[in-house]
Every structure is written in C-alpha cells, then in structure tokens.
Amino acid sequence: MFILDAHLDLAMNAMEWNRDLRRPVIDIRKSETGLTDKPDRTRGTVSLPAMRRGQIGLCVATLIARYSKPGNSLPGWNSPQQAWAQTQGQLAWYRAMEELGEMVQIRDINSLTKHLDLWSDTDGIKKPIGYILSLEGADSIITPKHLEKSYEQGLRALGPAHYGPGTYAQGTNATGGIGDRGKELLKVMEELNIILDATHLCDDSFWEALDFFKGAVWASHSNCRALVSHNRQFSDEQIKVLIERNAVIGMPLDAWMMIPNWERGTSSPQSTGLLLSHMVDHMDHICQIAGNSLHVGIGTDLDGGFGKEQCPADLDTIADLQVLPQLLTKRGYTETDIGNIMHDNFIRFLQRAWT
C-alpha cells in the first residue's frame, strides 16, 4: 500500500550523519562500522531504496538547525546566520537528489497530483521519492524576508519550535508563549499559506499559536499523552482542538514516546516488548476521540537521531511499515480506514490546504 510519511529528517542524515541515502540500509550500516560519534551508528533504518521497497513514495522532509543562544545547553549553532546556512546546505542536498532523479519536490496541487499518478502506475520503473519541504524549528529564519525566500524555495510547512526555548516559540521541555516575534512569524506564514506544524510546541505556545493562527494546522509526528505522560505528547484536550481544526496527526516511532518508562541507554525494544502494535495503540486512541479514522497518519521520525536501538523490535527498516495494514485489520479497521491512515488523510489535507 502507498504510504505518506509526514516526518523524515533525510537531509540531516545526509549532511550531519554523512549517510549516502541512495545506498541500501545494510550498506549504510556496514559503512559505519567502528564509528561511535552518534548513538545510532550501524543501526539506521532509512534509505531511498528502502523507502521505495516499502512504497513510501511521498514524505514530508525536513530542514533543521537550532540556534542555541548563550546559556542554552542544547546542541545547536551559535548564531541564526549559521543555522540559516546549515538549512541551505540541507536544501542543496535535496536539490542534488532531484538532479539525479532520486527525489522530486512537491509544492502545489499540480505536482502532488502528477506524483500520485506516477506512483499509482505499476510499470516497475524506478520512481523518485516525492518530498514536501518542512522546517523543524524556526530559529534559522533570521527575518520575515528569509521566510519568504524559503517559501520560494518550496517550504510548505513549519514547526516554530523544536526542543527547549526558541526564537519564535517555546518547545519540548520549555514553557512560555510565542511573543511578538512568534506572532509576526505566524502572520507571514498565514499570508504565504505555510502549514503550521504544532509538533514540539510546549503547552503555552501550542494554545497561543492555535488561537492566533487561522491557517492550516497539522502535527507531523506526535503521540498521545494519555498513553505516555510527557509534555512532548498531546493531551486529549489538545487532540480534540486539532480535530476541530481539521488537522491530521502523524504517529512517530521513537520508543520513549510509544511506551511509558522507557530509559534512554538502558531500555531496549526487546527488553520492553516494544512493537509496531504500540504505534497502533496511539492511532486507535486518536480515532476513538475523533469517532472516525480521519485525523491520524504516519510521521515516523525514523532516524531522527535514533535507530534500531530505539524503535519497535519488529521494524528493521522503514520498508516494514507495510506491516501496519495487517495490524490495523486485526483491530477492526476497514480497508477505507486503513487507506485513510496510510496516506489519504494527509493527501486530502494537502489538497484542501493548497486549493
């Protein structure tokens, strides 16, 4: 079944992890033998061939570069200008993949329709992975003019914050609202019709942003606080408001967001019994709140700084997402429901937002 993954840090992996994503996952793992600079070395799960094998023909792919102000202990760049330059380097990688026919940027209804038609054809020809450009954390946006330039470059979704305090909003593990700069950012986003990604907004910034912003809202990769209690997750009240805004929420596969009591560096998928069925638990929770299957999708965040050591034990590569229809069927979901979750909800969202 065709899959839309609403959150993949492809360029980060290519540029910071130095992974050639054109290669099979097994080759990338072998190339990292002996490396210890990242906790997920030799355990990556994503490559372009693996995405093709798993029919993940369309994704929301990120630019990401945090600006860490003096006193902020989180890793990042020491100035907004450096962060901007980093995102431009990541964009250059996407462009290089386009030149090779490996990827194609999707930025409007016409390109979306053309790409879906291409992937619906079973001619066996190698197809490019479609990507919708998103910015995870807005710290690299130096001025509104930089946001306008990003839009011209194809940026179509933006999450104002990531982890900790940000320039335009406060993120995971932080507190506080969006302030005047955040409102200015959201105003320009609304004018440009850039989708607001509510993922990573702390509670204060979440409520303030949704109250101020009148454009299209989604959450690319967030799970349910009722199942795993942490401010990174959405409360039922937040989920209800997102449903009222016609949002779609993508389900991520980072272990600590899937099951409670995960201890980084100590827990393992095998010791905890973590499986893809736990992803379905979060999907089902949102569907029960909504009373339908129209607000859930997939936003795996695979290789978003973690690999097989911190994702379901029954997932070797991203291609194993093809197990999900079977798991959903066992939960009583219909063929239409499964199509909604695997791709249709996010596709319809884009069609509405871009019309």
Q: Could you tell me the pLDDT band of residue 171, with boundaries at 50, 70 and 90?
A: very high
Domains of the chain with bracketed CATH: 4-354 (3.20.20.140)
Instruction: Check pLDDT > 80 for residue 178.
Output: yes
d(CA 265, CA 267): 6
Coil, helix or strand at residue 196: strand
pLDDT at 71: 84
pLDDT at 72: 86
pLDDT at 344: 98
pLDDT at 185: 98
Angstrom distances, CA of residue 305 to CA of 45, 81, 133, 227, 311: 11, 23, 19, 23, 11
Mean pLDDT of the chain: 97
What's the whole-model pTM score? 0.98
First to last CA, the chain: 26
d(CA 73, CA 59): 31
Angstrom distances, CA of residue 45 to CA of 166, 259, 314, 321: 29, 20, 12, 11
**For 204-256, how does the pLDDT look when each residue is reduced to its tens digit (9 = 90+)?**
999 999 999 999 999 999 999 999 999 999 999 999 999 999 999 999 999 99
**Is the separation of the CB atoms in 13 and 46 below 8 Å?**
yes
pLDDT at 124: 77
Going by C-alpha positions, the residue among 36, 8, 31, 7 that lies closest to residue 19 is 31
pLDDT at 229: 97
**For 112-161, how does the pLDDT look when each residue is reduced to its tens digit (9 = 90+)?**
999 999 999 888 789 999 999 999 999 999 999 999 999 999 999 999 99
